[in-house]
Amino acid sequence: MNAELITIGDEILIGQVVDTNSAYLATELNKLGISVIQITSVADKRESIIKAFDDAALRAELIISTGGLGPTSDDITKPALADYFGSKLVTVPAVIEQIESLLASRGVVVNERNKKQAELPDNCEILRNTAGTAQGMWFKKEGRVFISLPGVPYEMKAIFREEIEPRLRQRFTLPTIRHTTVLTHGVPESEMATVINDWENSLPGNIKLAYLPSPGLLRLRLTGKTTGDAEALTIAMDAEVVKLKSIIGKHIFGYNDDKLEVIIGKLLKENNLSLSLAESCTGGMISLLITSVPGSSAYYKGGIVAYSNDVKTTDLSVSPYTILMNGAVSQAVVEQMAEGIRNRYQSEFAIAVSGIAGPTGGTPEKPVGTTWIAVASKKRIISRVHNFGEERGRNMQKAAIAALFMLREEIMDCL
Amino acid sequence: MNAELITIGDEILIGQVVDTNSAYLATELNKLGISVIQITSVADKRESIIKAFDDAALRAELIISTGGLGPTSDDITKPALADYFGSKLVTVPAVIEQIESLLASRGVVVNERNKKQAELPDNCEILRNTAGTAQGMWFKKEGRVFISLPGVPYEMKAIFREEIEPRLRQRFTLPTIRHTTVLTHGVPESEMATVINDWENSLPGNIKLAYLPSPGLLRLRLTGKTTGDAEALTIAMDAEVVKLKSIIGKHIFGYNDDKLEVIIGKLLKENNLSLSLAESCTGGMISLLITSVPGSSAYYKGGIVAYSNDVKTTDLSVSPYTILMNGAVSQAVVEQMAEGIRNRYQSEFAIAVSGIAGPTGGTPEKPVGTTWIAVASKKRIISRVHNFGEERGRNMQKAAIAALFMLREEIMDCL
């Protein structure tokens, strides 16, 4: 089964909003064995919306649109849909009640605009929105299914999970599509392609490989498809991963949706170890990654964002003399920071980062992007210097990822 | 002038990568007065790519594609383009040299795959990529301009800035499109629509309004367009903003791309004030927002992520008795945290946040999402409790934004 996604909204076309809804829907549909063959973003204009629906219906059996269902007057999707599917808008009392009780729980009184949200086409299945006031709609036309969803991401997701996924599973016989993603670190894309060339060329016809590089890591994604034996596909794909592992095993740090911060969290938790952080140029990014994992309070003691030299000396016990002689971005300082926070918070492991995030503050010897990272354990302190380039946001991100990889290595070394 | 954007790549269609390139290009093209009328994402398949180009050429005069130019074998865009524009691929010696020198600067030796990146269609203008090995290409066909760019965001952006923008300005007469965005806080979308209804209905025909809600704030975007007098458009739009200000002035906190953390940074810097942070459930997110602003070291002393009660008592001088009696997520604790960090880091202002981020840790009295925020100044400590709902990431984000708004209010109150 093929699907197309349509995003409705001027805010996408002027670049003010990034379309994350399509990525979510594509991921979920793929898991169900439904291939997304095109994603289209169009303006909040009746003719654009209708043209997009018509075009998509030529290629796909399932068309899902997001956006254009808000209570304010820039939204014209609902009347356009009613016309397109030959229905008229009627007020649905059950939806009014639902909106009233939702808003009451937030202490908000229903106004006329909210009530308009209960006007819905009379020939659609209503897909109940428990998280907001704009309902989803499921239409059928000429053998195609059309679904219209609100654009607010968490409302759209709730409707997909609660209303759409069960219906798709029930109503359609779906082929099997499987993805296995191998997460690697330390080998650039073009070098990886050379190393695994023979293996790649020997893949069976129904298994495809894609390279997905991102800062600090490279994901290798295998996609297998079958209308026949799902079990056989699983076995074939697992066998390919085993072969790949024998070629690049030491560069693999995880699979599929594994996140580095989750992998590290598990390592720490399972071994009853703890972590503390002393961040300068990363400004709290490593702490945020660590705490984005539910349950991280079991192993994360806390961190200090030491943005001033005062904080480095008073709270991290860095010697003022060391700063004076070497500068704050130096091996000596970053090692003292790591040891300082480890002692202060009594953790088994500690990371410290000190760098020049930019755009100013660089010198010929220490250009913008120069970053020292240290990891301290009971056993020792290791430190490395990197240059992550000139872009502030990007080099903060690269520093955070490099620091987490260093930590992972050191934990595994200590086990 | 109308443009369409085409994103090429299976990784978008399976949802593994979010298309941020289109948002960037749409923003930049709009600034030049070029309207993006559609964005399409298609698979790494020759027929899909060519169909997308053909369809886009029916509607737009400028077509920009991103993606599909990497060195690995899942990329088939370049040969498809060469065919489409009736050219053949030839190796360009100058590009080989450029790739060699780029990779040499990174300490990498050129391999055969890298060299293939210098094979380019013989009838395009090469758009030089100073940040990577895949060059951009500028084609002309039947009165349309087609541009193909690599998908790696920072390479794509560098080529746009350095090669494309100057050419577009030089070669085309562009109409004027202006956007003014008014940033508001404290009024939900449907209430706002009621309050500004009369003003909205009286807008001139060539000025459109859109509502752009996001967690904790609502942006109102005015878009004006003219092929005539640009100055008159500017004056008309400014006049509308003045009218809007007279209606909802106290809810406006900024304009256009103003970011809350930048606005706060300016307030602090201009008044020679400083800030420190004590974060629990936000895990470093506020710190990261503050330090994402270049030059923030001038006013940000530093922060402590107090994930354990130990850190709260030893580093933030929270009384263990207060924690015992009230729990860590309480008004008394968050106020002590704010005062504790303010004293420790000797800053004029301090924020403290303590909440239950979830998914576990909630109780009937303090469900997941319960968050206390305090702001301390020389004058006083203020604190508020919120409930931001059950989703961990979202309620961390809402807490961070609410805390920054509280800080802004308090700074302005103290000036």
Domain limits of chain A? 2-171, 176-255, 260-414
Written as tens digits, the pLDDT of chain A (415 aa) is 999 999 999 889 999 889 999 999 999 998 888 999 999 999 989 999 999 999 999 999 999 999 988 766 556 889 999 999 999 999 999 999 999 988 888 777 888 888 888 999 999 999 999 988 899 999 999 999 999 999 999 899 999 999 999 999 899 988 888 889 999 998 988 899 999 999 999 999 999 998 888 878 999 999 998 988 989 999 999 999 999 999 999 999 999 989 999 999 999 999 999 999 999 999 999 999 999 999 999 999 999 999 889 999 999 999 999 999 999 999 999 999 999 999 999 999 999 999 998 888 888 889 999 999 999 999 999 999 998 888 888 889 999 999 999 999 999 998 8
Please answer yes or no on whether A305 and B283 come within 8 Å at the CB atom: no
What is the model's pLDDT at position B406? 96
Q: Yes or no: say if A260 and A401 are a contact pair by the CB < 8 Å rule.
A: yes
What pLDDT shows up at residue B184? 96
Distance CA A382, CA A406 (A): 9
B200 contact residues in A (CB cutoff 8 A): 73
Contacts of A343 (CB under 8 A, 6+ apart): A317
- In A36-184, which ranges are continuous DSSP H helix? 46-59, 77-84, 93-105, 112-116, 153-159, 165-171
Beta bridge mates, A351: A277, A375
Asked if A212 lies within 8 A of B17 by C-beta distance, the reply is yes
Q: Which of B20, B193, B287 sits opposite A305 (nearest CB)?
A: B287
The mean pLDDT of B109-136, rounded to a whole number, is 90
pLDDT for B73: 53
Decide yes or no: CATH 3.90.950.20 for domain B260-414: yes
Q: Choosing among B8, B27, B72, B398, which should be mutated to test the A contact, i.e. which has the most A CBs within 10 A?
A: B72
pLDDT of A114 reads 83
B2 vs B360, residue with greater confidence: B2
Q: Which residues contact A9 (CB under 8 A, 6 or more apart)?
A: A17, A41, A43, A44, A67, A68, A151
Instruction: Measure B74 CA to nearest chain A CA, in Å.
Output: 6
Is the dihedral angle over the CA atoms A380, A386, A392, A394 positive or is it negative?
negative
Q: Are B152 and B66 in contact (CB under 8 A)?
A: no
Q: What is the mean pLDDT of residues B297-301?
A: 94
- Cα–Cα distance for residue pair B7/B150, rounded to 1 Å: 10
Buried-exposed string B236-273: b where 16+ CB fall within 10 A, e elsewhere: bbeebeeebeeebeebbbbeeeeebbbbbbebbeeeeb
Residues A376 and A303 sit within 8 Å (Cβ to Cβ)? no
B394/A154 Cβ within 8 A? yes
Give CA–CA dist B168/B153, Å, rounded: 20
What superfamily does domain B2-171 belong to in CATH? MoaB/Mog-like domain (3.40.980.10)
Q: What is the DSSP letter of A146?
A: E
Contacts of B365 (CB under 8 A, 6+ apart): none
Question: In the predicted model, what is the mean pLDDT of residues B245-255?
Answer: 95
Number of neighbours of residue A235 by Cβ within 10 angstroms: 11
pLDDT value of residue A22: 97
Residue of B nearest to A22 (CA): B15
Q: Which residues in chain B touch residue A190, judged by CB atoms under 8 angstroms apart?
A: 71-72, 111, 113-114
Specify the pLDDT at position A74: 56
Mean pLDDT of chain B, nearest integer: 92
CATH code reported for the domain at B176-255: 3.30.70.2860
User: How many angstroms away from the CA of B138 is the closest CA of chain A?
Assistant: 22
| Distance between CA atoms of residues B7 and A286, nearest Å | 31
For chain B, the residue count is 415
Chain-chain contact of A193 with B296 (C-beta, under 8 angstroms) = no
Mean pLDDT of B366-373: 93
Cβ of A108 and B188 within 8 Å?
Answer: yes
What is the spatial distance between Cα A352 and Cα A406, in angstroms, rounded to a whole number?
11
Q: Which of A14, A208, A287 sits opposite B305 (nearest CB)?
A: A287
Closest chain B residue to A286 measured between Cα atoms?
Answer: B284
**B16/A208 Cβ within 8 A:** no
For range B331-356, the mean pLDDT: 97
Indicate yes or no: CB of B41 within 8 angstroms of CB of A22: yes
In a mutagenesis test of the B interface, which of A11, A203, A288, A314 is the best target, namely the one with the most B β-carbons within 10 Å? A288
pLDDT band at B72 (very low <50, low <70, confident <90, very high): low
Measure in Å the smallest separation between the Cα of B356 and chain A Cα atoms. Answer: 11
SS3 assignment, position B91: strand
pLDDT at B129 over 90: yes
- Closest to B19 measured CA to CA, from B65, B74, B80: B65
Per DSSP, the residues of A343-389 read HHHT-SEEEEEEE--SSS---SSS-TTEEEEEEE-SS-EEEEEEE--
Which sign, positive or negative, has the C-alpha torsion B94, B97, B103, B104? negative
CB contacts, 8 Å: B71 with chain A: 189-190, 193
Please state the φ and ψ torsions of residue B32, each to the nearest 5 degrees: -85, 0
Q: Is pLDDT at B342 greater than 60 in this prediction? A: yes
pLDDT of residue A392: 85
Using a CB-CB distance cutoff of 8 angstroms, which residues of chain B are in contact with residue A10? Answer: 208, 210, 223
Nearest alpha carbon to residue A195 among A211, A181, A208: A211
Contacts of A40 in chain B (CB under 8 A): 38-41
Question: Percent of chain B scored above 90 by pLDDT?
Answer: 75
Tokens of B268: 């602090």
Gap from A233 CA to chain B (nearest CA, Å): 19
Closest CB from B13, B20, B221 relative to A36? B13
